[in-house]
Amino acid sequence: MKRVRLIAGLLLGLTGIGTVGFHLTTGRGWLESVYLSVITLTTVGSRDGGQTPAAMVFTMAYLVGGLSIFTYSAFQLGQFVVNVEFRRMLERRRMEKEIRKLNKHFIVCGMGRMGTTICEFLAQRRKPFVAIDTQSEVVEEACRERGWHAIVGDSTDDAVLKDAGIERATGLATVLPTDADNVYVILTARMLSSNLQIVARASEPKAIEKMERAGATRVISPFSSGAVKMARFMLSPSVEDFLEITDSGGSELELADIQIDADSPYIGKSLMETDLRNSGVMIIGIRRANGERLLPPAGTAVIQAGDSLFAFGSSEAVNNMTGLTSSES
């Protein structure tokens, strides 16, 4: 931007010098002097037999100097544009390289108000994700200002989802403007990854069943969900306030779903036999791989491969527990 301001300053200054010079050497008014300055600088020129020798000398000097500065400015501007495009290309390559390294990340399709809120939620919790949007300005701002991983493209396109690393992703949220587009994303994503957790937004209630049939793990209707939340707040305001605390990005408390991998050292052990109680995390529920839920689980409940542990505690304790549930820790 400094280079652009310098070029603009040079051109404005040159025009100002020409205006004053023509005004003094020809005796013309200021408007005519500006006109003569511009047409001389742009080499359009004019036939004016009434010019004085002083005006002719000034015109020649101004034309030579002006063309030199104008050429220099054009060169600098072209170099600036090339540099900007080159930096963008390097940033895109860096972004693509970083995305290829992501594993067990999340994909957000659509960066409108709801999609941006989802990205902010994930970013606050330092969860890896890739956002997709068709508007290059939105994507560039997300990458440059927020440091997010984001790519420009159509989320319904197989190639774009593959560029986002869908084969390695854990979950996908599709919040495109229309239900039809969201259904198409669900179908495409499910074909590319059979185990992917897919959450979709439905604007119309009649679209919920279609999205579930297409392969969505969960379909959210913002209007009905918001209405239910308001009703719950009227009935149990203290409980809703507590849930708001756990949902807020700045909260120290977190409610998390901890996946038990096949190589976890806790497999085959009961909750009492593990050291999870000493980790500062409370296990408030277990969901088996077959869908069975233990709410709340007994201390004798045995942890199995494929289980999901519903853990409640501080963000630090939950993150530490996530590392402990794998044999790689």
Highest mean pLDDT among 28-37, 177-186, 268-277 belongs to 177-186
Q: What is the distance of C-alpha 324 from the center of its chain?
A: 30
| 77 and 111 fall within a common domain | no
Provide the pLDDT for residue 327. Answer: 43
Q: What span, in angstroms and rounded, lies between the C-alpha atoms of 225 and 232?
A: 11
**∠273-276-278 over CA atoms, to 5°?**
105
Residue 59 or 329, more confident: 59
Residue 209 or 58, more confident: 209
Residue 175 or 22, more confident: 175
For the sheet containing 171-174, what is the strand order?
149-152, 129-133, 106-109, 171-174, 197-201, 218-220
User: Where does a domain end: 90, 112, 146?
Assistant: 90
Q: What is the three-class DSSP state of 155?
A: coil
Residue 41 or 19, more confident: 19
Q: What span, in angstroms and rounded, lies between the C-alpha atoms of 138 and 157?
A: 19
Number of independent structural domains in the chain: 3
| 65 and 110 fall within a common domain | no
**151 lies in some domain:** yes
| 133 and 216 fall within a common domain | yes
| 146 and 202 fall within a common domain | yes
What's the Cα-to-Cα distance from 272 to each of 223, 276, 297, rounded to whole Å?
Answer: 42, 8, 11
**29 lies in some domain:** yes
Q: What span, in angstroms and rounded, lies between the C-alpha atoms of 198 and 216?
A: 5
User: Where does a domain end: 220, 242, 269?
Assistant: 220
Residue 66 or 3, more confident: 66
Q: What is the DSSP string of 83-95?
A: HHHHHHHHHHHHH
Provide the pLDDT for residue 210. Answer: 94
Residue 219: in which H helix or E strand, if any? strand 218-220
pLDDT in tens, 117-143: 999 999 988 899 999 999 989 998 998
Provide the pLDDT for residue 315. Answer: 74
pLDDT band at 245; cut points 50, 70, 90: low
Q: What is the CATH number of the domain that holds 274?
A: 3.30.70.1450
Domain that holds residue 258: 252-324
**233 lies in some domain:** no
| 35 and 109 fall within a common domain | no
Q: What is the CATH number of the domain that holds 170?
A: 3.40.50.720
The partner residues of 283 in beta bridges, in order of sequence, read 311
User: Where does a domain end: 70, 90, 110?
Assistant: 90
Task: Indicate if the pLDDT at residue 324 is higher than 60.
Answer: no
Provide the pLDDT for residue 281. Answer: 83
Location of structure tokens 């050429």? 71
Percentage of the residues of the chain whose pLDDT score is greater than 70: 83
What's the Cα-to-Cα distance from 327 to each of 129, 265, 266, 272, 311, rounded to whole Å?
Answer: 24, 6, 9, 19, 19
Calculate mean pLDDT across residues 144-163: 93
State the chain's mean pLDDT as an integer: 82
| 213 and 108 fall within a common domain | yes
Residue 231 or 198, more confident: 198
Q: Yes or no: say if 261 and 326 are a contact pair by the CB < 8 Å rule.
A: yes
Residue 149: in which H helix or E strand, if any? strand 149-152
Cβ atoms within 10 Å of 17's Cβ, excluding its own: 16
Task: Indicate if the pLDDT at residue 12 is higher than 70.
Answer: yes
Claim: this prediction has a pTM higher than 0.85? no
